[in-house]
Amino acid sequence: MSRKTGRRLGGFFLLILLAAAIGAGLLWQRYTRFADAPMAGLEEGDSVVVESGDSLPIVVRKLREAGVSAGDPVEWRALARQLGAAGKLQVGEYALQPGTSPRELLIAMRDGKVISHRFTIVEGWNIRELRAALAKAELLEHETGELADAALMKALGQPGQHPEGRFLPETYLYTRGDSDLDVLRRAHAAMDKALDEAWQQRRPDSVLKTPEELLILASIVEKETGIAEERPRIAGLFERRLRIGMRLQTDPTVIYGLGVGYDGNIRKRDLQTDTPYNTYTRAGLPPTPIAMPGRDALQATAQPAPGEDLFFVAVGDGSGRHLFARTLAEHEANVRSYLQRYRQGQQVRAASQRDASQREASQGDSSQGTQ
């Protein structure tokens, strides 16, 4: 081969290498644009679900079916290999927020960063309210809807235990595919732990004999006041009543005993009708909790405030606060004060309603006159 021919071949091969390099560069640019550019077609609240057995091509197809511009399957496979996600996509629901890139989505699927949903148990809920709210929770597998309370507790591994008060009011995170039993199981374990902590911290001279009694009294304290600083004072008041054998005489227990028959009003006959939960007719604690007490109510009951108060009544000004008294005479004076404020409030509300009605009637007459 002549020297001239060799130079020509060398130049030709150089051109081929240059073209290959340029082609590879273009392919790399296209690949990086795919990997890191936001996917088109995403809207706030979108998500994709990876189910058991889903391969990467199936996930890409799901994205396309959802209207997402998902790119080429070859690019997805290359990116999955680069990220170590090939064959390692974890089951769950993944967020598709606007601006999400394929790289970010695959990393989330590889690491199992699934969407978390929230369910909050509210302080003071009873078991009926808890179960009704749980039945409405979205994306939970509902396994308890047909279960009676006794069957529910058996399913939770607590056969024979009354469900009232057994689930700690907190916010619980869950993911798609979790069941309502999963949430209840965690809430039950959280209450067991919180109750044990409160019991270990109880005052040495506590009149309460068991953690169950602490839970019952804490549920009453929870229902009696939403004012944090009042809880230890009310807990101390109830402890003193228990110590001297005085009846608790607390309306929330009577209301609980009425069950679904409670219509929002408590009447004199309700206070006089004996039930296991009527603390006006029976001494001591009711047989079970009457609501789900929060951590603050548990701690207040474990460490009640000292004092001499034996009576309390609502202030009556809408603040939720109470007036406390040591003697019956002081209490009766507080009750008269409450009734006076209550009647004044009723008069103010009635006057406001009359004024509103008159304004509406006046506006109606004015509009008719301009027709």
Q: What amino acid is encoded at 253 in this protein?
A: T
Tokens (6 digits) for 243: 């110590």
Instruction: Give every CB contact of residue 360 below 8 A, 6+ residues apart in sequence.
Output: none
Give, for 180, the enclosing helix (H) or strand (E): helix 180-200
Q: Measure the CA–CA gap between 157 and 135, rounded to whole angstroms.
A: 20
Which residue's structure tokens are 């006959």? 269
pLDDT at 177 (0 to 100): 85
Pair of tokens at residue 192: 């067991």
Task: Quote the longest CA-to-CA distance of the chain.
Answer: 126
Task: Divide the 371 residues of the chain into consecutive groups of 10 and give the mean pLDDT of each group.
Answer: 56 53 49 81 87 90 85 84 89 90 91 92 97 93 94 97 98 93 97 98 95 98 94 97 96 94 89 95 97 97 96 86 93 89 74 68 52 39
> In terms of DSSP H, where are the helices of 259-327?
268-272, 295-302
Q: Which amino acid is at 365?
A: D
- The Cα–Cα gap between 56 and 86 comes to 8
Domains assigned to the chain: 37-115 (3.30.1490.480), 117-195 (no CATH), 208-344 (no CATH)
CA distance 118 to 186: 13
pLDDT of residue 340: 84
- Helix (H, G, I), strand (E, B), or coil: what is residue 67? coil
Rounded to whole angstroms, the Cα distance separating 290 from 272 reads 19
CA distance 243 to 310: 11
**CA dist., res. 252 & res. 263, Å (int):** 13
The amino acid at 197: E
Contacts for 9 with CB less than 8 Å, ≥ 6 apart: 1
CB within 8 Å of 79: residues ≥ 6 apart:
31, 34, 35, 85, 102, 103, 106
Q: Residue 325 contacts by C-beta under 8 Å, 6 or more apart in sequence?
A: 309, 310, 311, 312, 331, 333, 334
Q: Round to whole Å and give the CA distance between 22 and 24.
A: 5
**Separation CA 76–CA 345 (nearest Å):** 68
User: Within the chain, where are the H helices?
Assistant: 3-36, 56-65, 73-83, 102-111, 127-135, 149-155, 180-200, 211-224, 231-244, 251-258, 268-272, 295-302, 328-369
State residue 160's pLDDT score: 96
Q: d(Cα 321, Cα 63) in Å, to the nearest integer?
A: 55
Tokens matching residue 165: 């008060």
